[in-house]
Chain A
């Protein structure tokens, strides 16, 4: 019965989204009183129904997981009675259909958000609710017709086939929701931009309207990507956190464009610079989000992170991609001129630096796009296939991102429009900054770090010191509290970029990973620690069995470290549970692999030992960027200016 109600709710949500699209559109027209009439209100009500229906469907799906209702195909494919409760719940978004339901529901939530606290101009708001409704309708239709999570299976299996065991992990419980809020949140920027083009809105107004939405989405996307990288680091068992793998690239492209967007929107809102570019980015960022969904889910590429593959669905997603892209870019082609043109500016102005930062970030996104799609094109043309992997991106995208980091600490000190590099450099206190840069660079060179890592470390120190100077000089000089909070957000986020650069550089200079077979009593040395295998014993968990190795640590504080190798019986999969020993200087990383019998009959276990210096800086940097984004968002809300205007408007409306 639950499944049938679930199907009904999805159909209801789809209808509500279609109604939202039509009603809000009519409501935005003059006849509909430019977003203030009954039609616009009806559009908002429809968006609320979509949220309620989608949310209820989500709850029913979770309930089906908790009850282990294997008559539902999706539950049977992704759960098991022995699975811990938290992972049963997370299973609701662990596979394709369920994660698509979550995606749809978040889209609807953003639609309701736009209707309630969207752009202040009511016609623009209603129009953007309509566009958001169109995007919702596309995805709910996909859910209802090609990815229904409530599809029955008959006869119902007695037992489920379990969630992919590497997904049974705490970080993976919150990773997809964060990532989706990011991906899907960019839809609001798309909807506002498209609505603005229809309304012939001014570029500055549009940039101001879409900036907080883009900022919120991008911040969440950052958190989602960081969680994914962290998970890969400790769960996949070899200590990498970024592989330039196609699925990571799929999330990284919208991230890079989102980063460009939240900066260019500042220049557009405050100074009217780059209005066309800002709107174009707002459209493109969401298009690339859908492209990412297509790449990940269609099966055209394979990846360590791709868990739901089906070519037929690929055609659906490609269709949605086509509709969104054609609608967005056609509007842009015909209406971009109405956005207005920015005034010029000096090369040493803040606009110029934000523009150059956008240039490098967008070029990096372009490089990642071409690199990700190239193997597909080459294959489609019938040429001998090739791979585009980390070595390519490290030579192309990484230098472009480094260029953006070079500019980053300078921009906050530069005046708008007329510029002035000299006073800015004086304010920045070049001497204060060069010292940490020199010290860090010297340290990395003396440790024999590779060239790219030395450059990365120097840039990290430069960014971090620059952010500190920004905080020291700018914050006290600002009189308005909201401006102070906004500047604080900027310095926190920029410091986070510096920390990530430093952490990445340190990790790239780590000692050679050891991958050896150890018999009991044998040892291996890595990063100044000697690891001796004391023994391996069998273990039994709720839904797995496995081996637990015990290794004595000689060096540092000593002690023991116990990595595991698990075999998930129902899923028929083996995983490595890494053991970590964190410290301020670095982290010891040990995983254990299969047993081998040597020629002399002794059993040896494959042990991977690695030492990751300063790896905590990566996590801390990501936390800083997210905190910085949230702070800037809070500043926007606390600034009061737009809201006060809104309140005045609301009062005026009530008085009518």
Chain B
């Protein structure tokens, strides 16, 4: 019985291996790091072991092997899955607050700090 369950559990699938030269593999992994695994929760396809991540990794490797450039590859994924697929949000109307936040917070906090620094004090 257990053997049967095991056979069912360890699914056997056919996957042709695409091997890339080291430089292209590094570029592919750099891209994978910023692409979200669509069935996972916030993990990149580089990190996930979900079957879909496997498929998406294979897609990226194929495209890199074909000499597709980074932006076109990202665009192809966005066309298919929407902007959610990119872990690094693009700079546009929706995300402007996101990219301005660090600067606004530091400016605001810095002003507060300067204000408390300049308060009158008794020279020791």
Contacts and interface: CB of A to CB of B under 8 A. Distances in A.
B120 A389 contact: no
B6 A345 contact: no
B120 A344 contact: yes
B71 to A, nearest CB: 15
Contact of B6 (A246, A370, A538): A538
B87 A389 contact: yes
B14 A237 contact: no
Contacts of A371: 98, 101
B76 interface: no
B121 A345 contact: yes
11 contacts: A244-B42, A245-B42, A302-B42, A344-B116, A356-B113, A367-B105, A374-B95, A374-B98, A385-B82, A392-B88, A512-B29
B49 A238 contact: yes
A547 interface: yes
A594 B11 contact: yes
A574 B110 contact: no
Contact of A387 (B9, B12, B89): B89
Interface in A329-370: 341-347, 351-352, 355-356, 358-360, 362-363, 366-367, 370
Contact of A565 (B10, B13, B109): B10
Q: Which of A370, A418, A598 has the most CB of B within 10 A?
A: A370
Contacts of B80: none
A445 interface: no
A346 B121 CA distance: 10
Contacts of A417: 121, 124
A113 interface: no
Contact of A344 (B14, B15, B44, B119): B119
Contacts of B72: none
A362 B89 CA distance: 22
Contacts, number: 182
Nearest to B25: A512
Nearest to B107: A363
Nearest to A596: B15
B1 to A, nearest CB: 10
A155 B113 CA distance: 63
Interface string A28-59: 00000000000000000000000000000000
B89 A576 contact: no
Interface in A218-260: 237-238, 240, 243-246
B101 A396 contact: yes
Contacts of A375: 84
B97 interface: yes
A273 B83 CA distance: 46
Given A344-B119, A366-B105, A378-B94, A391 B34 contact: yes
Contacts of A599: 14, 16
Interface string B35-49: 010001111101111
A475 to B, nearest CB: 26
A11 B89 CA distance: 47
B19 to A, nearest CB: 8
Contacts of A346: 117
Nearest first, the 9 closest Cβ-Cβ pairs linking A and B are A389-B87, A391-B88, A344-B119, A343-B121, A302-B41, A363-B105, A359-B109, A344-B121, A567-B9
Interface string A375-397: 10010000111111111100011
A243 B117 contact: no
A595 B5 contact: no
A594 B13 contact: yes
B36 A389 contact: yes
A174 interface: no
Nearest to B99: A396
Interface of A: 237-238, 240, 243-246, 273-274, 277, 301-304, 306, 341-347, 351-352, 355-356, 358-360, 362-363, 366-367, 370-371, 374-375, 378, 383-392, 396-397, 399-400, 417-418, 512-513, 515-517, 538, 540, 545-547, 565, 567, 569, 574, 576, 593-599, 603
B50 to A, nearest CB: 11
Contact of B106 (A245, A302, A400, A597): A400
Contacts of B67: none
B86 interface: yes
A129 to B, nearest CB: 32
Nearest to A396: B102
A370 B42 contact: no
B88 to A, nearest CB: 3
B41 A303 contact: yes
Interface in B54-99: 57, 82-90, 94-95, 97-99
A517 B14 CA distance: 11
A593 B122 CA distance: 69
A359 B41 CA distance: 31
A237 B86 contact: no
A384 B106 contact: no
Given A243-B42, A359-B113, A595 B34 contact: no
A389 B99 CA distance: 13
Given A386-B95, A391-B87, A517-B17, A370 B101 contact: yes
Q: Which of A347, A359, A389 has the most CB of B within 10 A?
A: A389
Given A378-B94, A597-B14, 20 more contacts: A237-B49, A240-B47, A274-B116, A343-B120, A344-B117, A355-B113, A363-B105, A370-B97, A370-B98, A370-B101, A387-B36, A387-B89, A388-B98, A390-B87, A391-B87, A400-B106, A418-B123, A513-B29, A574-B9, A599-B14
Contact of A567 (B5, B34, B101, B121): B5
Contacts of B98: 370-371, 374, 388, 392
B3 to A, nearest CB: 8
Contacts of B43: 243, 245, 304
Nearest to A370: B101
Given A341-B119, A392-B88, A386 B94 contact: yes
Given A342-B116, A359-B113, A387 B85 contact: yes
A655 B22 CA distance: 81
Given A362-B109, A387-B42, A387-B89, A344 B118 contact: yes
B26 interface: yes
A599 to B, nearest CB: 7
A599 B16 CA distance: 7
Contacts of B112: 277, 359
Contacts of A390: 33, 44, 87
B49 to A, nearest CB: 6
Contact of A383 (B13, B85, B94, B121): B94
B4 to A, nearest CB: 11
Contacts of A545: 2, 5-6, 9
B102 A594 contact: no
Contacts of A362: 105, 109
Given A243-B47, A363-B102, A396-B102, A387 B6 contact: no
Q: Which of A347, A386, A576, A599 has the most CB of B within 10 A?
A: A386
